[in-house]
């Protein structure tokens, strides 16, 4: 059990994923600067309705891209692991802190046959869009221990679906989740050209 600062965002960052953020609110400028000074990270948690999701991702700040005169900044965050929220507090400076526990997989090992099926369905979706991912994506995919999360970055999942995937503690369950998603997505491609923009404009860094 430990206490960490928490940043509520309409965003799910999967373990080992990297994402750019622009920090502009005063309370979060204070929070991020403290994290940089102490070389610590913070939690990203998606709001679901009027409450925060119970499962979030702990991220570090490997790079500050730019600092502005007004204190705003562009940063890159990288998710290291997941946590579950136990209690929430408000810091005197206005941002949220939370008492959290680490949230681990019960079954982190993928069924090879399921993984092959997922990769095949993913590649078919990319072929239908006539789109090639950067080599850096595939390089990171090859070394990823939890490959479901890497593919999920480019899957066109809604926020609720991303959160549902983040919560699953079994790699095979996540793979099945994505296989079912791609099956539905394949049926929708011909009906909705906008889906291509959803998949390609997800914001994750390769």
For residue range 73-103, list pLDDT tens digits in order.
Answer: 999 999 999 999 999 999 999 999 999 999 9
Indicate whether 86 and 133 sit together in one domain: no
Indicate if 146 and 181 belong to the same structural domain: yes
The single residue listed with the structure tokens 């206490």 is 3
Q: In which band, very low, low, confident or very high, does the pLDDT at 9 lie, cut at 50, 70 and 90? A: very high
pLDDT higher than 80, residue 204:
no
Domain that holds residue 67: 2-103
Do 51 and 99 sit in the same domain of this protein?
yes
Domain match, 93 and 132 both? no
206 lies in some domain: no
User: Which of 103, 125, 159 represents a domain boundary (last residue)?
Assistant: 103
The domain that holds 48 is classified in CATH as 2.30.130.40
Distance between the two ends of the chain, CA-based, in angstroms?
32
pLDDT band at 12 (very low <50, low <70, confident <90, very high): very high
Could you tell me the pTM of the whole model?
0.90
Residue 196 confidence (pLDDT) = 56
Q: Is the pLDDT of residue 190 over 70?
A: no
- CA–CA gap between residue 125 and residue 119 (Å, rounded): 10
Tell me, yes or no, whether 139 and 95 share the same domain.
no
Domain assignment of residue 61, yes or no: yes
CB hemisphere CA count around 168 (13 angstroms): 21
What was the pLDDT predicted at 61?
A: 97
* Domain termination site, one of 76, 103, 130: 103
The residue ranking higher by pLDDT, 47 or 126, is 47
Q: For the stretch 91-121, what's the b/e string if a residue is b when 16 or more beta carbons lie within 10 angstroms of its beta carbon?
A: eeeebbbbebeebebeeeebeeebbebbeeb
Residue 182, pLDDT > 80, answer yes
Tokens of 96: 């949220």
| Tokens (6 digits) for 131 | 């789109």
Q: Are residues 60 and 19 in the same domain?
A: yes
Q: pLDDT tens-digit profile of 118-171?
A: 999 999 888 887 778 889 989 999 999 999 999 999 888 989 999 999 999 999
Q: Is the pLDDT of residue 194 over 80?
A: no
pLDDT at 206: 58
Q: Which residues contact 19 (CB under 8 A, 6 or more apart)?
A: 11, 13, 76, 77, 79, 203, 204, 205
Burial 26-50, CB ≥16 within 10 A → b, else e:
eebbbbbeebeeeeebbbbbbeeee
Domain boundary among 103, 129, 160: 103
Average pLDDT score over the chain: 90
Cβ atoms of residues 105 and 146 within 8 Å: yes
Residue 205 lies in a domain: no
Name the band, by pLDDT with cuts 50, 70 and 90, for residue 192.
Answer: low
Whether 75 and 119 share a structural domain: no
Count up the domains in the chain and report the number: 2
| % residues pLDDT > 90 (the chain) | 77
63 and 127 both lie in a single domain: no
Average pLDDT over residues 10-24: 95
Instruction: Assess whether 190 and 121 both reside in one domain.
Output: yes
């Amino acid at each position: 059990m430990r206490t960490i600062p928490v940043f509520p965002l309409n965003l799910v960052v999967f373990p080992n994923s990297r994402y750019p953020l622009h920090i502009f609110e005063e309370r979060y400028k204070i929070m991020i600067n403290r994290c940089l000074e102490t070389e610590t990270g913070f939690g990203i948690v998606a709001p679901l309705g009027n409450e925060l999701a119970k499962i979030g991702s702990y991220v570090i700040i490997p790079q500050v891209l730019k600092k502005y005169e007004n204190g705003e900044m562009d940063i890159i965050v990288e998710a290291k692991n997941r946590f579950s929220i136990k209690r929430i507090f408000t810091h005197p400076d206005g941002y949220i802190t939370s008492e959290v526990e680490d949230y681990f997989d019960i079954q982190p090992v993928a069924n090879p046959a399921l993984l092959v099926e997922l990769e095949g369905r993913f590649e078919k979706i990319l072929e239908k869009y006539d789109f090639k991912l950067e080599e850096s994506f595939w390089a990171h995919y090859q070394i990823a221990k939890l490959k479901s999360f890497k593919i999920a970055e480019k899957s066109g999942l809604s926020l609720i679906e991303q959160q549902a995937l983040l919560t699953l503690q079994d790699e095979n369950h996540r793979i099945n989740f994505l296989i079912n998603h791609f099956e539905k997505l394949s049926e929708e491609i011909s009906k909705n050209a906008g889906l291509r923009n959803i998949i390609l404009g997800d914001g994750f860094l390769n």
